[in-house]
Chains A and B, each alone.
Chain A
Amino acid sequence: MTSLTRYGRLLGVQLRASLATSMQYRVDFVIEGAMSIWWLGWNLVPLLILYDQRDDVAGWNFPSALLVIAWFTVLRGLMEGAINPSLIGVVEKIRTGEFDYLLLKPADAQFLVSTTRFEPWNLVDIAGGIGLAVAAFVMLGSAPAPGDVLLGLILLFAAAMVLYSLWILIVSASFWVVRLDNLAYLFSAVFDAARWPIQVFRGVWRILFTLVIPLALMTTYPAMAMLGRLEARTALAALGGALVFAAISRFLWRAAIKSYTSASS
């Protein structure tokens, strides 16, 4: 059996286990879905207030800004449904020493760590985000070109890869500094800035959110791609950057495992 099929099968098993666990708590499922919708609405408040008075902010009108928020919602759904649950659990496992069991399995530790847990109710977020995107294009009065859509999806994939790599970096750091679960909250908090088109930020803020924490990449670029405003060159650079980032995080993960000392006893 090739490595790929094997890992594909393992992913299937993990997904099934996560689904079964979520089904155990059916009430939670509904509540969390409702919460997703709640936050979706809440996200729109600043946008509505802003565009109540202005028609255009830094070259973005209301429907196009809505598109950025749509991508933000989809990405956040991906993050909180597929990326966060596993990785937050890992920090806890490192603390209790149960992480050792993962190292004893004959499969790549990073893979195991990343697929322990999925939370399916975040599909509501993803669906909501897509709904907002559709609404934005309805408001614009024209559908996006297929090529633009494809580019947008590729960039979305790159964004997800960057988010995931950031998380792997955080978890790698937690091998050295034991209680880092609050970093998750910090990360989510900073990620909040990604709901705005990057051009809206000026000066030091824009530098911060483009280079230091590549939020611009995650939401603005896919939106610009779909609106046909993104140059192919920028898109390729973004994709390349995402791949490099993923490689760096993988390298640091392996370094972290090497120096890992489990909690005593």
Chain B
Amino acid sequence: MIRVDDLVKTFRVHRRPAGLGAALRSIFHRKYEIVRAVDGVSFRIERGERVGFLGPNGAGKTTTLKVLSGLLHPTSGAAEVDGFEPRRREPAFLKGITLVMGQKNQLLWDLPAAETYALNRALFDVPRDEYRETLAELSALLDLENLSTKPTRQLSLGERMKCELAAALLHRPKTLFLDEPTIGLDVSMQVAIREFIRSYNQRYEATVLLTSHYMQDVTALCPRIIVIDKGHLIYDGDLRALVRKVHPNKLVSFTMTGAIGPAELERLGDVVSSEGGRIVLRVPQDRLRDLVSHALANLPVVDLSVEDPPVEDIMRELFRPGSAPEAASRAEAEAS
């Protein structure tokens, strides 16, 4: 179980404007700024949950993960993982968690991944049979084949990521912190890794906390999302519910055999695109039934689909300063 109460983390950052004068002055006197990376965040995550962390760059997601894994200690507030205080980095705590950072390797560069596995086995005191069993399972789930015997520097980015995951999970941690694990990978690899995470979560009942820039990671994997912006938690709950709240419109697509006149088109509603025989409309939830029945009855429709708008749109709307949803969710967060 992960528990975060009123977590605050601040950093001192050196700011220097451009220009030679400023450069010279910085020898003698440096200006520091206090950055509130995490500013009063609270949440609880139960065992076995898969939770996605969303937010723009610099929102505080990575900082929160680092506090939870013990790499940073909080400026104020409390963090607790499975009864441990992360900042103390007790061996029992460390053996129960893992942190995977997307762009940073823990694999030894010049050697095959197998050497890193051996090293981690020694470090985490994994008994030999358990090690063999876990490695076999991970190899199957990740489709490692003979990747682990090639020097790491010879692997492609996707292959490297798979081996990184294997190395990170050899000790069968019960809590996974994943910071942008799919960044830079191609689509098929992203899908493979998502599948793997889901399998691991289900098989070992592991808690997964994931941050990602890719909406698909979150929508595919995480029933629950926590949205952080500028260090504040602005939403915590179901993804679908958020979508509906922020953007109570649906995207309806018709494919038609015949053309319809522009007047007719306008009467249908807010047109997003109209190409060939395919029309996409943005339709408010309450008008949905009427529109669909009207279209099916009166128009030469051969195909119809109703979708939520892409989550990216939701997020953009949510984070755009001054937008109604942004103001509303901020107010809601402050009220709670």
Chain A residues proximal to chain B, CB less than 8 Å: 1, 6, 9-10, 13-14, 17, 20-21, 24-25, 96-98, 100-101, 103-107, 261-262, 264-265
Task: Determine whether B74 belongs to the interface, using a CB cutoff of 8 Å to chain A.
Answer: no
Q: Please judge, given known A-B contacts A13-B118, A17-B119, whether A105 and B108 are in contact too, CB under 8 Å.
A: no
| Residue in A6, A13, A98, A105 with the greatest tally of chain B CB atoms within 10 Å | A105
- A21 pairs with B110, CB closer than 8 A: yes
Contact at B71–A262, with CB atoms within 8 Å?
A: yes
Q: Is the Cβ of B111 less than 8 Å from the Cβ of A21?
A: yes
How many residues belonging to B are interface residues under a CB distance threshold of 8 Å?
33
Residues on A with beta carbons closer than 8 Å to the beta carbon of B69 = 104
Give every chain B residue within 8 A of A17 (Cβ-Cβ): 108, 111, 115, 119
Interface 1/0 per residue, B314-330 and A, CB below 8 Å: 00000000000000000
Contacts of A106 in B (CB 8 A): 91-92, 94-95, 123-125
Q: List 24 A-B contacts (CB under 8 A).
A: A6-B125, A9-B122, A10-B122, A10-B123, A17-B108, A20-B111, A21-B110, A21-B111, A25-B110, A97-B101, A97-B104, A98-B104, A98-B105, A100-B99, A101-B104, A104-B70, A104-B98, A106-B94, A106-B95, A106-B125, A261-B11, A262-B71, A264-B62, A265-B57
Q: How far is the CA of A10 from the CA of B108 in the complex (A)?
A: 15
Are B111's CB and A261's CB within 8 A? Answer: no
Chain B's closest residue to A100 (CB) is B71
Instruction: Identify the closest chain A residue to B61 (Cβ).
Output: A265
- Is B66 interfacial (CB 8 A cutoff)? yes
Docked Cα-Cα span, A100 to B66, in Å, equals: 9
- Closest B residue by C-beta to A6: B125
Q: Write the B118-137 contact mask toward A (1 if CB under 8 angstroms, else 0).
A: 11101111000000000000
Chain A's nearest CB lies how many Å from the CB of B212? 14
Whether A105 lies near B123 (C-beta < 8 A) is: yes
Residues of chain B within 8 A (CB-CB) of A98 are: 104-106
How far is it, in angstroms, between the C-alpha of A20 and the C-alpha of B111 when the chains are bound?
7
User: Which residues of B have CB within 8 Å of A261?
Assistant: 11, 72
* Min CB–CB distance A193 → chain B (angstroms): 30
CB contacts (< 8 Å) of B97 on chain A: these are: 104
Instruction: Compute how far the CA of A265 lies from the CA of B110 in the bound complex, rounded to whole angstroms.
Output: 25
Binding site for A on B (CB under 8 A): 11, 57, 62-63, 66, 69-72, 89, 91-92, 94-95, 97-99, 101, 104-106, 108, 110-111, 115, 118-120, 122-125, 151
Chain B residue numbers with a CB within 8 Å of A264 are 11, 62-63
Residues on the B chain within 8 Å of A262, using CB: 66, 71-72
**What is the minimal beta-carbon distance from A19 to any residue of chain B, in angstroms?**
10
Going nearest first, the 5 A-B pairs with the smallest beta carbon separation are A106-B91, A106-B94, A101-B106, A21-B110, A13-B122
Q: Are B71 and A104 in contact (CB under 8 A)?
A: yes
Return A120 CB to nearest CB of chain B, in Å: 14
Chain A residues, Cβ within 8 Å of B72? 261-262
**A6 CA / B121 CA spacing, docked (Å):** 12
B111 partner residues in chain A, CB cutoff 8 A: 17, 20-21, 24
Known: A106-B124, A107-B123. A21 touches B91 (CB 8 A): no
Q: Please, which residues of chain A bring their CB within 8 A of the CB of B70?
A: 103-104
Which residues of chain A are near B125, meaning CB under 8 Å?
1, 6, 106
Q: Which of B95, B123, B151 contacts A24 (CB 8 A)?
A: B151
- Specify the chain A residue showing the minimal Cβ separation from B104: A98
The residue on B at minimum CB distance from A24 is: B110
Chain A residue at minimum C-beta to C-beta distance from B89: A103
Shortest Cβ gap from A211 to chain B (Å): 30
Q: For the complex, give the distance between the alpha carbons of A175 and B151 in Å.
A: 30
- Contact A104 to B119, CB < 8 A, known contacts A97-B104, A98-B105: no
- Give Cα A100–Cα B89 distance, bound, in whole angstroms: 12
Contact partners of A104 in chain B: CB under 8 A: 69-71, 94, 97-99
CA distance A111 to B111 in the complex (A): 21
Q: Which residue of A lies closest to B12 (CB)?
A: A261
> What A residues does B71 contact at CB under 8 A?
100, 103-104, 262
Q: Which chain A residue has the least Cβ–Cβ distance from B57?
A: A265
Residue among A1, A9, A21, A25 with the most chain B CB within 10 A?
A: A21
Which residues of the partner chain A approach B101 to less than 8 Å between Cβ atoms?
A: 97, 100
In the complex, A141→B91 CA distance in Å? 57
Could you tell me the distance between the alpha carbons of A217 and B95 in the complex, rounded to whole angstroms? 42
How many Å from the CB of B37 to the closest CB on chain A? 8
Closest to A98 in B: B104
* Assembly CA distance A100 to B72 (angstroms): 10
Which residues of chain B are within 8 angstroms of A25 by Cβ–Cβ distance?
110
The residue on B at minimum CB distance from A103 is B71
Residues of chain A within 8 A of B115, CB atoms compared:
17, 20
Which A residues are CB-close (under 8 A) to B98? 104
Closest residue on chain B to residue A262 by CB atoms: B71
Interface contact A265-B62, CB-CB below 8 Å: yes
- Shortest distance between the CB of B178 and any CB in chain A (Å): 13
Nearest A-chain residue to B96, judged by Cβ: A106
